[in-house]
Structure formats: structure tokens, C-alpha cells
């Protein structure tokens, strides 16, 4: 029973993380200038640096999401 709860929680965490990734991606694609202006009020960076930071962060988030949500979820799906 406890493993099923953990599996279900990992499944819901995966869906939430996918939603966050899509939101982040769509904000950069459709409102990139707005996000860039907002961030340049806090940090001094060029548009190229802004793109590098965000796309690197998206890649890191996606990697962590797969390693810490999807892989354990699939492992529990196989075991249970």
C-alpha cells in the first residue's frame, strides 16, 4: 500500500513538473521580451546571456525531473 501511494505521488509530481516546463517554455517563446525586461531590472545581462541561462536551466530542470520523478515512477510501475 505504501509503495502504491509513493508511485501515485511520483506520477502527480511528474504531471505538475511537465506543466511547469510547458509554462516556462511558453513564457519564453510568447512573452520572452517581457520576461527579459523583468529580469534585466534585477540583473545586468545581454539577451544572449539571458537565453543561455534560461535554456540551460530548462535543460537542468528537465534532467532532474527525469532522474528524480520519471525513473523512480517507472521503476515502481515495473515492481508493483
Output the pLDDT for position 80: 83
Give residue 56's domain range.
2-79
CB-facing half-sphere around the CA of 51: CA atoms within 13 A = 6
Largest CA-CA distance found in the chain, in angstroms, rounded: 52
CA distance 36 to 17: 23
Tens-level pLDDT at each residue, the chain (80 residues): 799 999 999 999 999 999 999 999 999 999 999 999 999 999 999 999 999 999 999 999 999 999 999 999 999 999 98
pTM: 0.85
The domain total for the chain is 1
Determine contact, residues 74/14, Cβ cutoff 8 Å.
no
Amino acid at each position: 500500500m505504501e509503495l502504491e501511494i509513493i508511485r501515485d505521488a511520483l506520477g502527480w509530481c511528474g504531471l505538475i513538473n511537465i506543466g511547469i516546463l510547458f509554462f516556462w517554455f511558453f513564457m519564453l517563446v510568447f512573452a520572452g521580451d517581457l520576461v527579459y525586461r523583468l529580469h534585466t531590472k534585477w540583473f545586468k545581462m545581454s539577451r544572449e546571456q539571458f537565453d543561455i541561462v534560461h535554456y540551460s536551466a530548462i535543460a537542468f530542470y528537465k534532467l532532474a525531473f527525469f532522474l528524480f520523478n520519471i525513473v523512480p515512477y517507472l521503476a515502481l510501475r515495473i515492481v508493483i
